[in-house]
Amino acid sequence: MSRRCTRCQTVYAGDTRFCPRDGSPLVEVAGAAATPSGSGGSESSRTMVRAAVKRQLGPSVDQAGALQGEIIDGRYKVLKQLGEGGMSYVYEARELNTGNSVAVKVLTPKLIADDTAMQRLRREAGLAMRLNHPNTCSILRFGETETGLIYLVMPYLKGELLSDKETRTGPMTLEMGMPLLIQICEGLHHAHGLQIIHRDLKPENVMIVVDGDRERAVVMDFGLAKDRGASSLSKLTATGIVLGTPEFMSPEQVRGQDIDARSDVYALGILAFEMFTGKLPFEGRSAQEIMIARLRGKALPLGHHRPDLPSKLEKVLMKSMDANPDKRYSSTKEFGLALASSI
């Protein structure tokens, strides 16, 4: 097995996942092998060469959205398409070596051609590979085929999106919604401990998986994630893709300011409000008015829609959605503890 650094193009043999030189994630290169850089030197020097595999743009790249039945990189048999978006196509596939089901996200040619977007994705894929928690969905592999397809492999989660569950059940009871919220808090706290901020938390990015008689919430799609050590990113990328969903973005994220874990606390507060009421906590006659209301911190109280719910829960959610991050819960762990004690 050989892997190539996405930044310096050095090829490495073995199971190394990150470049020792610059820390970039390594992508597996089909049909390539690391060759010695010389006959002498240490073992480490013999595993590094400046032999980048040239990307050959061909039909497979152009057909990123039509891969059903194909075998990707000699590893994954594509079974069916699960969805598509502006940046990628998502497929269910079977790993040939193990027979396990996986989800494969294949990037669009437009994104591949955008160097800035690709640099961000490579960095964030490397971050998501570090996730290891039952309430988060990690990236298992970041690979590139000989024909130039760039793909990410994730565990295949069989379940129901939280957004679909909300549509099907309507506003949730405390017994149904509270365990899911606390699990989401735990998953995000794990990510925050690895210096990863989600940035785009919303019901469409949470999968509800049934484990026996228990539901498990799994936070997905850390593709917009941002590590706290990185420099601030623009709200819009060069491809015009919004980093974050406006209805759930914190005021500081809307303004393009630096964000931390408290931004995810804010988004989770809005998500919780929607779970229990079926509505968003900000009102206005237009999208602009709703945006202004959020920047000014004028969230509706929970009792406006659900007077049957505990007043203590209303106070917890109002604190999580405060426009001033200094007045919110400092972590999702603290938020989760407050939620648990509110019922």
322 touches 335 (CB < 8 A): no
Active site residue 211: no
Residues, the chain: 343
> Which entry of 73, 114, 200, 264 is annotated as an active-site residue?
200
Q: Among all residues, which ones are annotated catalytic?
A: 200
